[in-house]
Amino acid sequence: MSVEISNYATILIELVKAVKMHNFYPQGHPQLESIIEKSYLALKKSIDTAGEFKWRIDQRGFYFEKLPLAPGNAEIAGLAKKLFFRRIKEITFLAQLDMNDIKVFLSAVNAEPEEIQAKGGVEAFFASLDINGILLNEQRYEDIKKLKNELEAKKEAEKAAAEEKQEQPAGESEKAQEEQEEKPKEEVKQDSLETLISKIRGEKDDLRYKDLSARITELLTQGKAESVYPCLIVFYEHTLPASGRSDFIKKTALEGIKGLLTREMLKFLASRIGAKQEHNRAAAQNILVYAGDEGAQALLDAIIEAQDAMARRYIFNALVIFGGRIRPLIEARLDHPEWYVVRQMAALLGAIGGPEAMDALETAYKNPELRVKKEVLKSMVKIRTPRVTEFLLKALGEENQSLVAQAIISLGIIKDPSAVEPLAELAFKREAFSDASETSKEAVKALGIIGDTRAVPHLEKILFRTVWFGKKANDEVRSLAAYSLGLIGTTEALDAVDAVYAESTGELHMACKRVLDGRERTS
Q: What is the 3-state secondary structure (H, E, C) of 56-89?
A: EEECCEEEECCEEECCCCHHHHHHHHHHHHCCCC
Q: What is the pLDDT of residues 434-466, one digit of tens each?
A: 556 789 999 999 999 999 999 999 999 999 988
Report phi then psi at 77, rounded to 5.
-65, -35
- 3-class SS string, 338-395: CHHHHHHHHHHHHHHCCHHHHHHHHHHCCCCCHHHHHHHHHHHHHCCCHHHHHHHHHH
310 CB neighbour count, 10 Å cutoff: 11
| Amino acid letter, residue 522 | T
Terminus-to-terminus CA distance in the chain, angstroms?
A: 91
Do 286 and 239 meet the contact criterion of CB atoms below 8 Å apart?
no
- Does pLDDT of 186 surpass 50? no
The total domain count for the chain is: 2
- Does pLDDT of 184 surpass 90? no
- With bands split at pLDDT 50, 70 and 90, how would you rate the model's confidence at 7? confident
In a domain, 288, yes or no: no
| Amino acid letter, residue 234 | V
The widest CA-to-CA distance across the chain, in whole angstroms, is: 118
Alpha-carbon distance 65 to 55, whole Å? 8
Q: Answer positive or negative: Cα dihedral of 182, 188, 194, 195.
A: positive
Do 92 and 53 meet the contact criterion of CB atoms below 8 Å apart?
yes
pLDDT value of position 87: 81
Q: Answer positive or negative: Cα dihedral of 22, 28, 34, 40.
A: positive
Domain boundary among 119, 153, 187: 153
pLDDT value of position 190: 41
In a domain, 444, yes or no: yes
Residue 429 belongs to domain spanning: 415-523
Alpha-carbon distance 109 to 21, whole Å? 12
In a domain, 66, yes or no: yes
Pairing of strands 53-58, 61-64: antiparallel
Long-range CB contact pairs, 42-47, < 8 A, 24+: 42/7, 42/10, 42/11, 42/14, 43/11, 43/93, 43/97, 43/102, 44/97, 46/4, 46/7, 46/8, 46/11, 46/93, 47/93, 47/94, 47/95, 47/97
Q: Does residue 53 sit in helix, strand or coil?
A: strand
Do 252 and 209 meet the contact criterion of CB atoms below 8 Å apart?
yes
User: What mean pLDDT comes out for the span 482-498?
Assistant: 93
In a domain, 339, yes or no: no
CA 1 to centroid of chain Cα atoms:
46
Alpha-carbon distance 485 to 445, whole Å? 10
Alpha-carbon distance 166 to 169, whole Å? 10
CATH number at 427 reads: 1.25.10.10
In a domain, 232, yes or no: no
Domain boundary among 153, 178, 196: 153
Do 446 and 488 meet the contact criterion of CB atoms below 8 Å apart?
no
User: What mean pLDDT comes out for the span 283-308?
Assistant: 93
Alpha-carbon distance 433 to 154, whole Å? 110
- Does pLDDT of 136 surpass 60? yes
Q: What is the pLDDT of residues 63-93, one digit of tens each?
A: 988 888 888 888 888 888 888 887 888 888 8
In a domain, 224, yes or no: no
Alpha-carbon distance 504 to 475, whole Å? 10
In a domain, 94, yes or no: yes
- Does pLDDT of 432 surpass 50? no
Do 288 and 318 meet the contact criterion of CB atoms below 8 Å apart?
yes
In a domain, 17, yes or no: yes
* Element holding 483 (H helix, E strand): helix 471-488
User: For helices 420-428 and 456-463, what crossing angle results, to 10°?
Assistant: 10
Q: What is the pLDDT of residues 310-343, one digit of tens each?
A: 999 999 999 999 999 999 999 999 999 999 999 9
Q: Does residue 91 sit in helix, strand or coil?
A: strand
pLDDT value of position 379: 94
| Residue 25: DSSP 8-state | S
Give one DSSP letter per residue of 259-283, joined into a string: HH--HHHHHHHHHHHT-SS-TTHHH
Q: What is the pLDDT of residues 199-246, one digit of tens each?
A: 898 899 999 999 888 888 877 765 677 778 888 999 999 999 988 999
Domain boundary among 135, 153, 171: 153
